[in-house]
A and B are shown apart, each in its own frame.
Chain A
Amino acid sequence: MPAGKGVVQGGPIPYQPWAAAKKIENAKNRLTTDPLATCYMPGVPRIMYMEFPFQIFQTPDHIAMTFEWSQIHRTIYTNGAPAPEGIDFWMGDSRGRWEGDTLVVDVKNHNDRTWFDMAGNFHSEALHLVERYTMRDANTIAYEVTIEDPKVFTKPWAISMTLHRQVDADRIFEYQCQAEAEEASGAFERDLKTWYPGPSVAVQTPAEWKDVQTAWKAPAPQGELKRMADGKPDLQGYFMPDGGGANYGLGKHEVDFLTPGGRGVIVDPPDGTLPMQAWAKVEAENRKTPERGYDDPTAHCFVAGVPRSMYVPSPLQIVQPPGYVVVLHERMSWRAIPLDGRPHLPDHLRLWQGDSIGRWEGDTLVVDTTNLNGKAWLNEVGEIVSHAERVVERFTPIDADTIHYEATVSDPLVYTRPWTIAFALNRQKDELLEVACHEDNQDLQHLKEIRDEARAKTRSQS
C-alpha cells in the first residue's frame, strides 16, 4: 500500500473499541475482504478519492457525477426533493444545497458493505456524511466530509482533501472492474467472431450504407415542447423504455417458457426481421442453447452496450447540462454525449459503451456511436453485434412525456444491410434507484455449471 500523510482531521479515527478491533482484522484480510477486491461498488466517500477520474455535470436541479470506475454514477439532488425511505444503496442517497458558494451534501441511506479505504476503515448502515465542495480556484475543489456513525464511532470526525481538475482531459473512459477481472481470469472468454480486433481487422462498410435513409418515418411532435435556454428541446427527466420485449428478441416473438414475448421493434427492414448473414444465423441459434446463457455479458452484470442499454427493462435518466446530453442508467452505466462536434476516438480505442457524439437536427438529437468493443450481446437470446457496429440513434420529443427513440445499426461483419429499431421512452415520476448487480449476482454460478456440464459432455463424446 502506498504511504500517505493521511486526510483525517485532528487525531485518529474515533472508533468504538469493538470497531477498532474489526478495523485491524479488516486490514489483515484486505486482499480478499476489501469490497473493491471483488469489484463491489466503493460507496461514498471512497469513490471520490480513488485513482480513477470522474466528471461533474451541473444543472439547476441536480449535479450528476459519472465515474470511470465501473461506469458508476451518482446524482446529488439540489431541487429540494426528499430522500427515499426504507431503502439503502451502495452509493448512498445524496441531497445537496448551496451555502454561499459551498455545495453541502447530505449522504444517507448507505448499506454496511463499503469501506473508506484499502486499510479496512469501515462504517455501518447508520453512516451519515456531510460533504462540502468549495471551489478554491478555477481548477481545484476543497473537499471536506464530516463522518457520523453512532454504531461505529464515538464521535463525528472529518476528512479533508483537494480535488484537482484534469485540465488536459476532454472526456473520461471506462474501467470495467469486474469485466477486466473475469477476462484476466478466463471466466469471461474472448469471442473471436465479434470482439475487437477479431480475425478481420479492416472492416469495410459498404459505401451505400453510409448515411442510410430508412423508408420508415418517425412520428411528428405534437404541440409545443419544453425548451432549454438555447432553444433546444429539454429532454431531461426519468424515462422507462417501452422496449416491447426487445431484451428477449428484437423481432416479434411469442412467450417461450420463461422468455417473455415481444411485439417486435424492428421498423426497417419492413419485414421486421434482422438481416443476418448466414454465419450469424447459425451463431444466434447456438447462443440460444442453455449452455450459452453464461456468455451473455449482462448475466455477468457487465454493461449492456449500445443500443441494448436503451431497452433493458430498467429506467434511465437524461441530464442536459450545457454542451452535453448525459444518459444515466439505473443499472449502473452511463453515456456522456458531447455536442461540441468533436471527432470520434482513434479506431483502436474500444469501449463497452462506445464513443457517442451528438448533434441536433432540428428538434431531434442525433447520436453517432462508434468504437464499440463487440463484447455486448443485443439481448438475452443472443442476437449479435460485432466491433464493426456503428449506431445512429435519434431522440425526438413528441410531447411533454414521450421521447420517440430510434436506432439504426450498421454492422457489416454481421448483417447484409443496416437495420432500425424504434420505440418510445415514457416519462416516469420516480427518481432512479440503484441496481447493484454483480454484488448480489447468484445466477452466474448456476449458468456456469450448466455450461461446464455441457462442455464436459461434449469432451467425453469426442
Chain B
Amino acid sequence: MKSFRLVAILVAMIGWAVLPVAAHHSFSAEYDSKKPLKLKGKVTEMKWANPHAWIYIEVVGKSGKIEKWAWETGGANALYRRGWRKEDLVAGTVLVIDGFQARNGSNTANATSITFEDGKRLFAGSSSQNPATK
C-alpha cells in the first residue's frame, strides 16, 4: 500500500521542478559552492522536521567503507502540502543526490536534486530556485 502511495505521489509530482523552500538561514553561508557533490546511497532515515527535513543515506566510500551522509532538504510543511507523509520514503530506498557539501567539512550537504536510480525525480529542496520565477 505504501509503495502504491509513493508511486501515486511520484506521478503527481512529475512536472514539479523543485519544492519552494522556506529557508530560515543562509544556505550560501553554510554550504560551499566549491564542494559540489553527487552521491548514491541507501536511505537509512528521513527526519521529518521543520525548518528543514533531512535525508540520511549510507554511501560506500572510496575505501569501501560505509559513510553516513546527512542531506538537508525543504521543510516538512512544504513536503506535507505536496502530499508527502512521514512514512513515504522508506529505509533502503536507493537515491542519487546532487548538492553541495557543508563548509565545515562534515558529512552534511544541501540537496539540489534527488532522483531514484532510474532517474525519476524524488524532489529537491535547494534554495537555489528563484522564487520570483516559480
Contact = CB atoms under 8 A, between A and B. Distances in A.
Given A247-B23, A447-B30, A258 B51 contact: no
A440 B49 contact: yes
Contacts of B133: 261
Given A435-B75, A447-B30, A86 B85 contact: yes
Nearest to B34: A257
B22 A435 contact: yes
Contacts of A446: 30, 102-104, 106, 108
Contact of B27 (A259, A313, A314, A450): A259
Contacts of B102: 446
A430 B78 CA distance: 12
A204 interface: no
Given A435-B51, A443-B72, A256 B28 contact: yes
B20 A313 contact: yes
A294 B103 CA distance: 13
Interface string A281-317: 0000000011111101011010000000000111000
B104 A443 contact: no
Interface string B44-86: 0001011110100000000000000010100111001100011
Q: Classify the secondary structure of A's interface with B.
A: loop
Contacts of A294: 29
A248 B108 CA distance: 23
A52 B108 CA distance: 38
Contacts of A68: none
Given A443-B52, A450-B104, A381 B131 contact: no
Nearest to A301: B24
A298 B24 contact: yes
A430 B129 CA distance: 23
B127 A260 contact: yes
Contacts of B20: 313
B70 to A, nearest CB: 8
Contacts of A318: none
A259 B132 contact: no
Contacts of B93: none
A444 B51 CA distance: 12
B100 interface: yes
A258 B130 contact: no
Nearest to A243: B131
- Which of A294, A442, A443 lies at the interface centre, i.e. has the most chain B CB atoms within 10 A of its CB? A443
A8 interface: no
Interface in B110-128: 110, 112, 126-128
Contacts of A247: 23
Given A443-B52, A446-B102, A446-B104, A255 B128 contact: yes
A206 to B, nearest CB: 33
A330 B54 CA distance: 20
B91 to A, nearest CB: 18
Most buried by B among A312, A331, A440: A440
A263 B132 contact: yes
Contacts of A261: 130-133
Contacts of A331: 22, 24, 51
B128 A260 contact: yes
Contact of A258 (B27, B47, B52, B76): B27
B43 interface: no
Contacts of B76: 87
B25 interface: yes
A35 interface: no
Nearest to A294: B29
Given A312-B22, A442-B54, A433 B77 contact: yes
Contacts of B30: 290, 293, 443, 446-447, 450
B21 A313 contact: yes
Interface in A408-462: 430, 433-437, 440-444, 446-447, 449-450, 453
Contact of A440 (B50, B77, B86, B110): B50
A437 B128 CA distance: 21
A441 B52 CA distance: 8
A434 B49 CA distance: 11
Contacts of B52: 442-443
A441 B24 CA distance: 10
A290 B80 contact: no
Contacts of B21: 313
Interface in A162-207: none
21 contacts: A86-B80, A87-B85, A87-B86, A243-B131, A290-B28, A292-B29, A293-B26, A293-B28, A293-B30, A298-B25, A299-B25, A301-B24, A313-B131, A380-B25, A430-B81, A435-B22, A443-B30, A446-B102, A446-B106, A447-B25, A450-B29
| 6 closest cross-chain pairs (CB), A and B | A293-B29, A299-B25, A258-B27, A440-B49, A263-B132, A261-B130
